[in-house]
């Protein structure tokens, strides 16, 4: 009997993805009794891979999964989404879960810190084999993470719960990355990036906020973030900025007229992807390295996010259109999950040890 499934496609979008089928046994739901399917699973006809196969699977399914909206920071510090809370063994104080890993797979996790009532999901762009832009000794994946951590602590100080999609330098495919906020039922998601290459000299920051074309809430979110970050950076008036001529709040559309960036097309949660400043411009790279940068951008983004959460508005927000079709980002086939960690046992009770070994299988 199929008791639970996890998929990026079911019921909503028909694009490519993964599905994990879990079935129950007398031992309950365990990840060992599961089937993991993705685009590369043998037996899926080539011409059926994207739309049809997953679409059919989705539309014919009447399953709904009652899933807790919980984040988990695993024992090794990896941020994952909880799919199922497993019943705790009677003789154990260690909680166990089936989680969705960064690569989008289902896996057992033991212990860790549960995070609930998440309002804002923060996505530090890039990571692992996809390092993003690199200039003047800066790597984008690392700058994005530092900014994300600063934003998280600023939000925490204001009583706003947030959760990072990525907690150190590892790869997450877009199809998995884009779903964190939906799974956590967050109010909004912000994806943090730094721009390259340089385009043209400018007297003002070239900050850009990309928004979802089908969501006024995304436009509102992007507008608040853009205006706040632009204003904060513009105070560094001695910087020789760089900018695109249409920098601002932008819907980036591909040839089909839909959102180009997976981080915007995939989530249903209102999301904005922000290019804060240009890594590739030496003056801006120096600002990013200075101690003034993190407080300036994290406070600016927290101001915007706080306003988004506390002052809902029915006003309609405008954005301009940029036509751009992006190359494919690295996908599932190259994704290697980071170690989720395992608990330390300080006693040598036979059952506890057995449990630890089982969890590590």
Contact set with Zn ion (CB under 5 A): 125, 132, 193
Q: What is the DSSP string of 265-332?
A: HS-SS-EEEEEEEETTSHHHHHHHHSTTHHHHHHHHHHHHHHHHHHS--------EEEE--PPPPP-G
In the bound complex, what is the minimum distance in angstroms from residue 264's beta carbon to Zn ion?
Answer: 13
Q: What is the smallest separation between the CB atom of 126 and Zn ion, expressed in angstroms?
A: 6
State residue 235 phi and psi, 5-degree precision.
-65, -25
Q: What CA–CA distance (Å, rounded) separates 330 from 81?
A: 21
| Cβ distance to Zn ion smaller for residue 183 or 193 | 193
As measured in angstroms, the least distance from the Cβ of 132 to Zn ion is 4
CA distance linking residue 50 with residue 267, whole number of Å: 18
* Residue whose C-alpha is closest to residue 288's, from 164, 153, 134: 134
For residue 225, the minimal CB distance to Zn ion (Å) is 16
| Residue placing its CB nearer to Zn ion in the complex, 133 or 302 | 133
Query: Residue 132 or residue 343: which is nearer to Zn ion going by CB?
Result: 132
Q: How many CB atoms lie within 10 A of CB 245?
A: 8
**Residue (166 or 193) nearer to Zn ion, CB:** 193
Residues 6+ apart with CB under 8 A from 62: none
Nearer to Zn ion, 96 or 243 (CB): 243
Q: Which residue is nearest to Zn ion (CB)?
A: 193
Minimum distance from residue 224 beta carbon to Zn ion (Å): 21
Distance from C-alpha of 148 to C-alpha of 177, rounded to nearest angstrom: 15
The Cα 270–Cα 188 span in angstroms is 5
Closest contact distance (angstroms) between CB of 74 and Zn ion is 25
Q: Within a 10 A sphere around the Cβ of 253, how many other Cβ atoms?
A: 16
The answer to whether 38 touches 106, Cβ cutoff 8 Å, is no
Coil vs helix vs strand at 27 = coil
Which of 77/131 has CB closer to Zn ion?
Answer: 131
CA distance linking residue 266 with residue 264, whole number of Å: 6
- Provide, rounded to whole angstroms, the least separation between the CB of residue 196 and Zn ion: 8
| 144 vs 167 by CB, closer to Zn ion | 144
Q: In whole angstroms, what is the distance from residue 101 CA to residue 78 CA?
A: 9
CA–CA distance, 215 with 211 (Å, rounded to integer): 8
**Nearer residue to Zn ion within complex by CB, 152 or 193:** 193
Q: How far is the CB of 273 from Zn ion (least distance, A)?
A: 8
């Amino acid at each position: 009997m199929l008791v639970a499934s996890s998929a990026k496609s079911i019921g909503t979008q028909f694009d490519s993805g993964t599905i994990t089928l879990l079935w129950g046994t007398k031992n309950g739901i365990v990840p060992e009794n599961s089937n993991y399917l993705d685009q590369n699973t043998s037996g899926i006809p080539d011409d059926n891979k994207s739309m049809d196969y997953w679409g059919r699977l989705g539309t014919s399914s009447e399953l709904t999964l009652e899933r807790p909206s919980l984040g988990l920071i695993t024992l090794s510090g990896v941020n994952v989404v909880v799919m199922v809370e497993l019943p705790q063994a009677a003789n154990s104080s260690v909680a166990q879960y089936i989680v969705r890993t960064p690569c989008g797979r289902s896996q057992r996790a033991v212990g860790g810190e549960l995070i609930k009532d998440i309002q804002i999901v923060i996505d530090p762009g890039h990571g692992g084999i996809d390092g993003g832009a690199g200039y003047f000794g800066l790597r984008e994946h690392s700058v994005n993470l530092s900014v994300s951590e600063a934003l998280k602590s600023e939000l925490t100080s204001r009583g706003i719960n947030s959760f990072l999609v990525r907690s150190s330098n590892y790869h997450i495919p877009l199809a998995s990355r884009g779903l964190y906020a939906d799974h956590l039922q967050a109010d909004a998601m912000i994806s943090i990036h730094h721009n390259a290459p340089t385009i043209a000299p400018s007297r003002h920051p070239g900050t850009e906020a990309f928004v979802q074309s089908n969501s006024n809430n995304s436009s509102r979110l992007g507008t608040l973030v853009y205006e706040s970050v632009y204003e904060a950076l513009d105070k560094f008036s001695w910087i020789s900025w760089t900018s695109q001529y249409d920098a601002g709040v932008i819907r980036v559309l591909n040839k089909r007229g839909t959102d180009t960036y997976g981080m915007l097309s995939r989530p249903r949660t209102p999301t904005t992807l922000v290019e804060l400043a240009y890594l590739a411009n030496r003056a801006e790279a120096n600002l990013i390295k200075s101690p003034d940068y993190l407080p300036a951008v994290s406070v600016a983004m927290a101001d915007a996010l706080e306003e988004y959460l506390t002052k809902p508005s029915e006003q309609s927000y405008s954005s301009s259109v940029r036509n751009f079709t992006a190359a494919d980002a690295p996908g599932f086939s190259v994704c290697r999950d980071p170690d989720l960690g395992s608990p330390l046992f300080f006693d040598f009770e036979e059952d506890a040890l057995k449990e630890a070994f089982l969890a590590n299988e």
